Amino acid sequence: MKSGNIVAFKGTSNTFKVLSFLLSIFDSDWRKLKWKPWHLGIAWHKTSGGWWVLAAGEDGVGLKFYFSRELEEVRWYDWLEKPLTQKKLDKFLKGHIGKKYDIATYFWTSLAVIFRHFWNRPIPKLLDDRFSCWELVQEFAEEMGKPIVSKYDVIIIVDIIKALKGGA
């Protein structure tokens, strides 16, 4: 594990259960996943007791500390090929910390899943300065030189996980 790794947290909440069930109706790739992540973050800084992880949540984009035991059931993805400099990390953090959470993403993601299922077409993402955890991870990967999925389409968790696992 190192700074810049993508961290995938297993979905467990009731919201996850409902939305994951709905996603599984329209996406066979999601149904096939045995371990279903929901929340994503970026490993930022390791300490002796755990990790600081940058993520977007209901309070906006911020750093959250996780004790090592809390990270036992997460998946770590080493997506970026080049080592990150502290200057690049600091620049990204400065430009994103405190940004608002993108609550509208649930509506747009639902619509995107339905469009893709019936018409095999993505729908464009509104480019704004609000972030869901999925959007933040995509933006980070893009700014570090290796986008995971297109930032111009509504981002869906299954596409990110397929790419991270080498399936894209």
User: What angle, rounded to 10 degrees, do the helices at 105-119 and 14-26 form?
Assistant: 20
Residue 168, pLDDT score: 45
Listed residue (142, 148, 145) closest to 167, CA to CA: 148
Residue 111 in this model has a pLDDT that exceeds 60: yes
| Mean pLDDT score of the chain | 90
115 within 8 A of 122, measured Cβ to Cβ: yes
Residue 167 in this model has a pLDDT that exceeds 70: no
Count of alpha carbons within 13 angstroms of residue 141, beta-carbon side:
25
- pLDDT, one tens digit per residue, over 6-21 is 999 998 888 888 888 8
- pLDDT, one tens digit per residue, over 113-151 is 888 888 887 778 777 788 999 999 999 999 999 999 988
Listed residue (113, 130, 134) closest to 39, CA to CA: 134
- pLDDT more than 70, % of the chain: 99
Residue 106 in this model has a pLDDT that exceeds 90: no
Which bin fits 70, alpha (ψ -120 to 50), beta or left (φ > 0)? alpha
User: What is the number of residues in the chain?
Assistant: 168
Query: Is pTM beyond 0.75 here?
Result: yes
User: Residue 120, Cβ neighbours under 10 Å: how many?
Assistant: 7
> In the chain, where are the structural domains located?
6-164
Q: Cα separation of 55 and 63, whole Å? A: 6
- pLDDT, one tens digit per residue, over 31-65 is 998 899 999 999 999 999 999 999 999 999 999 99
Q: Cα separation of 21 and 27, whole Å? A: 10
23 within 8 A of 158, measured Cβ to Cβ: yes
